[in-house]
Amino acid sequence: MEMTKQEIELLSQKQPILRVAPQMRDLNNNGHIFGGWVLSQMDIAGGIVAAQVAQGSTATVAIEAMEFISPILARDLISVYVDVTKIGRTSITLCIDVIATRNRGNEQIAVTRGTFHFVALDENAKPRPIPDESRAIFIHEK
């Protein structure tokens, strides 16, 4: 699922949920950033948004359609963008995109995209309903 330059440009005009510079310790033997590292950054950003939507604790329950489009390099700065795509009774579905900025900010590369599912949790770590007002705030007509 290759991203067009226009899609990358539209994403980069939004405020990222997370912006991180990978460290040398995050490199694999090929000189690229470990896929697990970027997955964890996506999960952190998704958790931030899911908690806002749920107005409380959430947990990741599934990741689907995870796609690595391009490698992340040692000097890249990554930006993680999150869109709420669906709010169920207790669940939240998020589309999470990662863009790498490289060559001293002169190039933006789509590196990964995934669909993450979170569930709102009560004080006993059991699923709980998401407040109705979150639907109006977080779901935007596409």
Provide the CATH number for the domain around residue 16.
Answer: 3.10.129.10
Cα–Cα distance between 114 and 34 in angstroms, integer?
A: 16
Across the chain, mean pLDDT equals: 92
Asked whether residue 111 carries a pLDDT value surpassing 90, the answer given is yes
Pick the closest to residue 96 from 10, 37, 18 (CA basis): 18
Cα–Cα distance between 138 and 142 in angstroms, integer?
A: 12
Q: Which residues are CB-contacts of 93 (< 8 A; sequence separation ≥ 6)?
A: 84, 85, 86, 87, 115, 116, 117
List the domain range (segments joined by +) for residue 133: 5-138
What is the pairing mode between strands 77-87 and 18-20?
Answer: antiparallel
Q: Which residues are CB-contacts of 13 (< 8 A; sequence separation ≥ 6)?
A: none
DSSP3 helix / strand / coil % (the chain, rounded to 5): 25, 40, 35
pTM given for the model: 0.91
Asked whether residue 13 carries a pLDDT value surpassing 90, the answer given is no
Asked whether residue 140 carries a pLDDT value surpassing 60, the answer given is no
- Strands of the sheet containing 58-68, edge to edge, are 18-20, 77-87, 91-102, 107-120, 58-68
**CA separation, residue 106 to residues 60, 77, 101, 109 (Å):** 34, 12, 7, 10
Domains in the chain, number: 1
17-30 average pLDDT score: 94
Residue percentage of the chain with pLDDT more than 70:
97
